[in-house]
Amino acid sequence: MTATNLMAATHLPLWVPLVPQHDFEPNSYTAVTADGVHVTFEDGRRRLCAKSGLWNANLGFGNAAITQAIAAAMEKASYLPLFRTAHRKAFEAARALLALPTHPYQRVLFSTSGSAANDAVMKLARQFWALNGQPERKLVVGLKGSYHGLTYGSQALSGDELGQAVYGVDGRNIRHIAFQDYGEELQNLMRREGHRVAAVVVEPVLGSGAEVVPAGFLDELGKLREEHGFLLVADEVATGFGRVGSWFVSDEWSCAPDLLVSSKGLTNGTSACAALLVAERIVDIFDATESVFVHGETQAGSPATCAAILATIREMKRLNHQDLTLKVSTGLDGLIEDLANVKGIGESTGRGCMRGLKLHGGNGLPLPANATFAAVKRIHQAGAIVQPGPGRIQLLPALTYTEDNFQELRDAITQGLKAAHADGVFA
């Protein structure tokens, strides 16, 4: 039985995440190869990727320098753990990461995903306050509409609707607040429960919907931290490594985070990897009390992963990633302007190379989830891969996009939405 015939069998051997299995279309959605900014599928179609894999292949698929560095590391040491031991590549990668942000950090903890890293963030924050003699400070605050992952802890922290009630994730020590109100809801929470808040976790641009957290909220957040002392966490899983601006968006913040979480672009999508950058305030209490942080992951910070981090940093510097980000961001500005008059498209969200385009039905209301997925499917059929978001499509192209790529994307979105209208998706 050929691979294609096997795919067409009644029962798929693979449980494909986040979609119903009964109507999954293997030929159209099973990738075979990926190079540059294109992905070739079983149906023979070569489609333009407008979401950089999962907005992690920021420099495109198959960057030679990064893949060669991984191969060399695998030959030298195919695996080494970070359980009660270390290895040289992990130290090198940690030093390189600490040299990137504007704000100072002292130590790096490696993880395998943004989800797992956010679980570690919550554990670390609660232990920090226990070591400071305030074990009652267990509340972790996230933003409404935020996305922090799908592991048990990070799914609870996520403010987007992700079936938390169905899965029984434990949200008893989680709170969610609005960010469009310049911190009013956060102020009210702090008046009620500030003595119990361990940390506030903020995505500079929300991964779900590409909504930008305004400067006014961040200013108020900094003032409230001065008053109440909670840890401030920048979740830059999606926004870091040139996706929005410089290395990290929180470099712009006047209030330096106590923890920074990086993942997606960290290895250009080549490895299961995340990194927590930990500030002096946290490191000092753990060192002074000789305390152990009980967290570890088998595959975290392997030699190949750390080689990928180092190579990605080198490549971003060699290619002058800030110029690349500016160029692609400008290209997105032009694309969004050109698409503004396409039927069904509303206002845009986001900044840098992380954007959303709202979709409206014939009644003027945001498209429901099933209609949004249908619109994304039509765009896929027209030749481009975009990300569905709440009532919108999200555009997260690689930093290597060219003018030709933008024209290709413009055509696919226009054709895809035209087909969606013809099929009654926007009715």
How many residues would you count in the chain? 427
* Residue range 252-262: mean pLDDT, rounded: 97
Does 420 have pLDDT greater than 50?
yes
Does 359 have pLDDT greater than 90?
yes
Stated as kind and residue range, the H or E segment containing 51 is: none
Last residue of a domain, one of 275, 294, 318: 318
Q: 295 lies in a domain?
A: yes
- My answer on whether 228 and 345 are in the same domain is no
* pLDDT single digits (tens) 119-134: 999 999 999 999 999 9
* Residue range 72-77: mean pLDDT, rounded: 98
Residue 158 to residue 233: CA distance in whole angstroms: 14
The proportion of the chain whose per-residue pLDDT surpasses 70, expressed as a percent, equals 98
The whole-number pLDDT of residue 276 equals: 98
- My answer on whether 115 and 27 are in the same domain is no
Does 5 have pLDDT greater than 80?
no
- My answer on whether 312 and 324 are in the same domain is no
pLDDT confidence bin for 10, thresholds 50/70/90: low
- My answer on whether 337 and 221 are in the same domain is no
* Residue range 369-387: mean pLDDT, rounded: 97
- My answer on whether 314 and 215 are in the same domain is yes
The boundaries of the domain holding residue 251 are: 64-318
- My answer on whether 31 and 79 are in the same domain is no
* Residue range 88-98: mean pLDDT, rounded: 98
* Residue range 361-365: mean pLDDT, rounded: 90
Q: 427 lies in a domain?
A: no
* Residue range 104-127: mean pLDDT, rounded: 98
- Return mean pLDDT, the chain: 96
- My answer on whether 127 and 253 are in the same domain is yes
- My answer on whether 161 and 104 are in the same domain is yes
Q: What is the CATH number of the domain that holds 357?
A: 3.90.1150.10
* Residue range 156-162: mean pLDDT, rounded: 95
The proportion of the chain whose per-residue pLDDT surpasses 90, expressed as a percent, equals 96
The whole-number pLDDT of residue 11 equals: 79
* Residue range 270-281: mean pLDDT, rounded: 97
Provide DSSP, 222-286. HHHHHHH--EEEEEETTTTTTTSSSS-GGGG-SS--SEEEE-GGGGTTSSS-EEEEE-HHHHHHH
Last residue of a domain, one of 290, 318, 346: 318
Last residue of a domain, one of 263, 286, 318: 318
* pLDDT single digits (tens) 318-337: 999 999 999 999 999 999 99
The whole-number pLDDT of residue 249 equals: 97
Q: What is the CATH number of the domain that holds 295?
A: 3.40.640.10
- My answer on whether 307 and 328 are in the same domain is no
**Helices 321-339/403-422 angle, 10° precision:** 30
Residue 6 has which token pair?
Answer: 């096997």
The whole-number pLDDT of residue 40 equals: 98
**Among the residues of 159-205, which ranges form H helices?**
164-167, 184-193
Q: 102 lies in a domain?
A: yes
- My answer on whether 68 and 181 are in the same domain is yes
- My answer on whether 107 and 243 are in the same domain is yes
Residues 6+ apart with CB under 8 A from 269: 52, 53, 54, 56, 57, 58, 61
- My answer on whether 364 and 219 are in the same domain is no
Does 2 have pLDDT greater than 50?
no
pLDDT confidence bin for 1, thresholds 50/70/90: very low
Does 8 have pLDDT greater than 60?
no
pTM of the predicted protein model: 0.95
Q: 139 lies in a domain?
A: yes
Region of residue 146 (phi > 0: left; psi between -120 and 50: alpha; otherwise: beta) = beta
Residue 268 to residue 323: CA distance in whole angstroms: 18
For the chain, what is the domain count?
2
